[in-house]
Amino acid sequence: MSSTWFITGSSRGFGRALARTALAHGHRVAATARRPGDLSDLADEFGDRVLTLPLDVTDPSAVADAVGEAHRTFGRLDVVVNNAGFANVAPVETGDPEDFRTQFETNFWGVYNVSRAVVPIMRAQGEGLIIQFSSIGGRVGGSGGIASYQAAKFAIDGFSRVLRTETEQFGIRTLVVEPSGFRTDWAGSSMTVAAMPDEYAALGARYAGSADESSPLAAGDPDRAAEILVALASRRALPHNLPLGANAADLAVAYGRRQLESDLTWSAVSRSADFGEEFPVPFPD
């Protein structure tokens, strides 16, 4: 059956691939971008099944206007995709604090603003799916140079766990997507690499050549990812978190095993902090 999608950051990357794939499968799409003119080709090709809207996700009133317009036009919102985001590269020590905040405004607060705006509509419908684009870095972390981006992605996961708990009683499902490197311009024109002091010179090199087909940052196919997500959206049974890409799958499993091993190793120490538990206990070697 045809459904209605609302997608942020639709002008390129995952957002563009998802918008085009959903439309190709017969769905309706409210496609948003800071510059809606970048979406004119979708409107020309798919006619009144696509609604192009201007949207700065950091502006709550603009979010409310765009969500309201999409709802008035199509009558419902079945799948909402929080995809808008970007990363700039700089060390925590020397990076510009304002740039750190600006990234967080889009990468986390944009997700918050859109999620908050669509929940009342989905609650009234009695169903809906919110797809939050995180990153495998939002699970395993530790990628030097992109602290703001990864901190926001960790925050998205924590926020989405609470959102899921609060809204699943209304038939609202929440899926957190955790991609590894994909052939988008995430590490290309969308990214600014700050001047690096000598002590951190190696950080910027990780993102050099990201458009090269041999780069791990270009291993994933956004069109395949879009096909997977459009197919998943019609299913009732979904994972809470979905790593996307071979690297994401491997990193997620390895991270889970390390965490479990560490937690089991230190379990006696952790438990000893409670009244009634054995104390003190020896620390592991």
Phi-psi region of 150 (alpha: psi -120 to 50; beta: other; left: phi over 0): alpha
258, 225: one domain: no
pLDDT of residue 89: 92
Cβ(32)–Cβ(8) under 8 Å? yes
258, 228: one domain: no
Number of domains in the chain: 2
268, 184: one domain: no
Contacts of 217 (CB under 8 A, 6+ apart): 181, 182, 186, 187, 207, 210
172, 81: one domain: yes
pLDDT of residue 209: 54
Instruction: Give whole-number Cα distances, 276 to 269, 271, 272, 279, in Å.
Output: 13, 10, 8, 9
Burial (0-12, 13-18, 19+ Cβ within 10 Å), 1:
exposed
CATH number at residue 41: 3.40.50.720
**Apex 251 CA angle, 247 and 257, nearest 5:** 150
186, 264: one domain: no
pLDDT of residue 188: 56
280, 154: one domain: no
182, 149: one domain: yes
pLDDT of residue 194: 79
Q: How far is the C-alpha of 5 from the C-alpha of 22, rounded, in Å? A: 8
**Apex 62 CA angle, 193 and 96, nearest 5:** 25
pLDDT of residue 208: 61
87, 18: one domain: yes
Count of beta carbons in the 10 Å neighbourhood of residue 56: 18
18, 137: one domain: yes
20, 110: one domain: yes
165, 78: one domain: yes
Q: pLDDT digit string (tens) for 240-255?
A: 999 999 999 999 999 9
Element (H, E) at 227: helix 222-233
Instruction: Give catalytic residues, as residue numbers.
Output: 134, 149, 153
pLDDT of residue 140: 96
128, 159: one domain: yes
Q: Which domain holds residue 278?
A: 252-285
Q: Averaged in consecutive runs of 10 residues, what is the pLDDT profile of the chain (285 residues)?
A: 95 94 98 94 96 97 98 98 93 94 97 98 98 96 93 98 98 97 69 83 69 67 97 95 96 98 98 98 97
pLDDT of residue 3: 98
